[in-house]
Chain A
Amino acid sequence: MTAQLTLGPVQYNWAPEDWRDFYFRIADETPIHTVFLGEVICSKRAPLYDNQLPDVVERLHDAGKEVVFSTLSEVTTDIDRRLVKRVAISEGFPIEANDVSALQQMGQDPHYIGPLMNCYNEEALAVYAENGAKSICLNPEMPKVGIAELAEAAKPYDVALEVQVYGRMSLALSARCYHARAHNRTKDSCLFVCDQDPDGMRLDTLEGDEFLTVNGIQTQSHSILNLVECLDELQEIGINRLRISPQSIGTFTAISAFDDVLRDKISPSEALKKMRDDRVDAPFSNGFFYQRPGYEWHDKMPAE
């Protein structure tokens, strides 16, 4: 099976027109196979995209992309619950569950398991596969050795595994909004201040080190995950679905760089150079893959 590039949901609060135009470009210009769409971070933001959604879906479908609706990740309030239900019962669209409540809402129709759910081992994989999951996207903290074990465990089932290969990593979720907190507001009275930061709000240590990224209730890495040098290894262990997580900067360059490597048009180090030259706003990292601190970058070992 040849590897497919997928596009995770936009996790930031982008202006609706920018959001629409981004997906139009994805439809028109990229080899992305599957597009995950929907608000996974904050139920308050979800209605902002309602007007754009039908056009975006149509454009993506016309371009031959598979469109999957992603559900909210942290489900607490009645508004959250209603949003999950609305998405989970969308007729005719496959669903990516990002919380166990979505599994309960949608029953056992074929669906996807998102990276914000926990699938760390063979037993968990069996639960999801037997429940109708056709693909499971693993948490970015999963090391190569664990990914390989899971790929082996997936074989008896009709379930594919997906791994995030590019973009900021989701490191934590909370019930509390840290964007609102930084602006001395509460979640209920936030006035959508997160729209000021299309790639999240940088959090530095008191010693001035760039550290984390705040995106509403989500805490992301500051560094940008980049596994372009690990694509061979991933494919060798049977991972053929590779997820790019959108940023407002550098995403299209990354998509073409990854695609070029998968097609053997350029080498991983050439791809890396191409991505680094495209004014990315943070260092790349790949530590988790090597079972090291996630922010670290490890040059690929020379082949044996």
Chain B
Amino acid sequence: MSEFIKPELVCPAGTPASLRTAVDAGADSVYCGFKGPTNARNFPGLNFTKAELSESVKYAHDKDAMVLAAINSFPTAGRTDIWKKSVDDAVELGIDAVIIADIGMAKYVAETHPDQRLHLSVQAGASSPEAINFYVERFNVKRVVLPRILTVPEIKRVHDAIDCEIEAFVFGNIGMMAEGRCSLTNYVTGISTNMDGVCSPASHVDYEPDEEDGLTTRLGDFAIDCISCGETAGYPTICKGRYDTAHKKNYYAFEEPISLNLTRLLPDLMRAGVTALKIEGRQRSRAYIRSVVSAFRDAVDAYAAGDEPDITELIALTEGHKETQGAFKSKSWR
């Protein structure tokens, strides 16, 4: 007998093929974005045209899965039309929810498409009940994607104090900085994470091998990490680099390049009132999506049935093979 409602499994898709893969692997819903700057994973070769999204929505709906459109970057003044068009297109295609970060775009959705289900992106950085309630009361937000900084008991307290659903990240790449409030990439590259939808743009990334089979990873003009022979090399993002300070040398000043894996905390999260469990990774390969989604499908189903699932496969999939429960387990992470 289960003590909680079985949560929705929300899975990433960077391409139409990944979306079909995620649906086939058991996703309850899939989130994705349009090509261009309107979403927070604006990488080359990734994302959907309107025609591709249209086909993808049909595919998902035929198999009883939902599609959520991430329109979760921040339009710069003078180019909001691109974002508004994305919202209009997504609504026209019968999207199940739009995921918005910008307060102005939330207003646009609420006023222009009042019947459209609206989710608040993690990029909005709403980390307290008061912040969440502001969005719920003003814009009729139905679900908030929580920042990855709260412990499970804190999530429970948020749940009890707000009037909308909670979606929580459970697996994948975990950025260290408060979402939607980081301009580190722009400081180095001139391309803004918030306004252009890309953290660490590939166009500015460089891997520079040395003679001892080591590797220096760079973003723009700055060295982000120097990796010695035999170490694994993550994609260089500023918050996962190694640096020197007066007190400590050659260390991960912000966070080690590890992945979030909350498989063990799933029952606790479900008891805390989390409606939807989110897997990160729109930039990841289809093979990865297939493995992660299938494994989570099995894990969620097993927990819901009161069983203990086998999670060894999920741990093997973690970036660099190192995993963390991040902030969720204990305050000592902070």
Contacts and interface: CB of A to CB of B under 8 A. Distances in A.
Is there any pair of Cβ atoms, one from A and one from B, under 8 angstroms apart in the complex?
Answer: yes
A258 B55 CA distance: 57
Contact of A101 (B76, B134, B248): B134
Contact of B190 (A128, A186, A287): A287
A76 interface: yes
Contact of B226 (A99, A187, A206): A206
A177 B246 CA distance: 16
Given A104-B134, A293-B188, A171 B128 contact: no
B332 interface: yes
Nearest to A285: B187
Interface of A: 73-78, 80-81, 84, 99-105, 116, 118, 120-128, 139-143, 145-147, 149-150, 153, 169, 171-178, 181-184, 186-188, 201-209, 211-212, 214, 219, 221, 287-288, 291-296
25 contacts: A75-B128, A76-B128, A99-B131, A101-B128, A101-B131, A123-B104, A127-B107, A127-B138, A143-B76, A145-B76, A145-B78, A146-B77, A146-B78, A171-B187, A176-B176, A176-B255, A178-B254, A181-B254, A186-B332, A201-B246, A202-B245, A203-B243, A288-B186, A295-B187, A295-B188
B103 A141 contact: no
A177 B128 contact: no
Contact of B80 (A116, A121, A175, A288): A121
B107 A293 contact: no
Contact of A121 (B74, B186, B190, B225): B74
Please tell me the size bucket of the interface on B. 35 or more
Contacts of A75: 127-128, 130-131
Interface stretch (B46-54, B146-154, B257-265, B279-287): B146-154
B70 to A, nearest CB: 17
Contacts of A171: 182-184, 187
Given A104-B130, A105-B130, A188-B331, A172 B104 contact: no
B177 A172 contact: yes
Given A182-B253, A293-B186, A173 B246 contact: no
A174 B243 contact: no
Contact of A175 (B149, B195, B216): B149
Interface string B183-223: 11011111010110000000000000000000010001111
Majority secondary structure, A binding face: mixed
A177 B253 CA distance: 10
Given A74-B127, A172-B184, A201 B135 contact: no
A274 B129 CA distance: 47
